[in-house]
Amino acid sequence: MPKSDEHKMKYLENKQIVENVFDIHNKSHYNWIATISFYTVLHIVEMQLAYDNIHCGSHITRENMLKQSQRISDKTLAKFKHMYSMSRLARYEAKSISPTIACSMLKCMHDIEKEYNLLK
């Protein structure tokens, strides 16, 4: 199972991609922004869970563990659920993500980074 530092590496890798590869002004990037910003946050919450030696093998297990974890705030949980839903639309429903949603995904990502003191 990945350790907290391994999740941090994946978080940083995804963050670099979402912030430096994709353009928020290019509508063909919105689905990717939604998807990668979600996975960036997924590794933030997995990093928090890994501090308590909790490892999740599925989205369902992760959601249950996040509800129980003392490290994950209700605000983060709500944002995580929203991001999960929007990323599923982008990945599986073949729905086009709007610029408003893409921007909200980035804002949620930054809010969660700030909450866990990951912004520099």
pLDDT digits (tens, 9 = 90+) for 13-33: 999 999 999 999 999 999 999
Tally of domains in the chain: 1
Residue 103 lies in a domain: yes
For 52, the token pair is 């308590």
Residue 34 lies in a domain: yes
Residue 110 lies in a domain: yes
Range of the domain at 58: 4-115
Q: What is the pLDDT of residue 14?
A: 96
Q: What is the pLDDT of residue 77?
A: 93
The CATH code of the domain that includes 36 is 1.20.120.330
Query: Mean pLDDT, the chain, as a whole number?
Result: 91
Residue 120 lies in a domain: no
Write down the pTM of the prediction. Answer: 0.91
Residue 8 lies in a domain: yes
Q: How do residues 83-113 score in pLDDT, each as one tens digit?
A: 999 999 998 887 789 999 999 999 999 999 9
The three state secondary structure string of 1-66 is CCCHHHHHHHHHHHHHHHHHCCCCCCHHHHHHHHHHHHHHHHHHHHHHHHHCCCCCCCHHHHHHHH
Residue 36 lies in a domain: yes
Assess whether pLDDT exceeds 90 at residue 114. Answer: yes
Residue 27 lies in a domain: yes
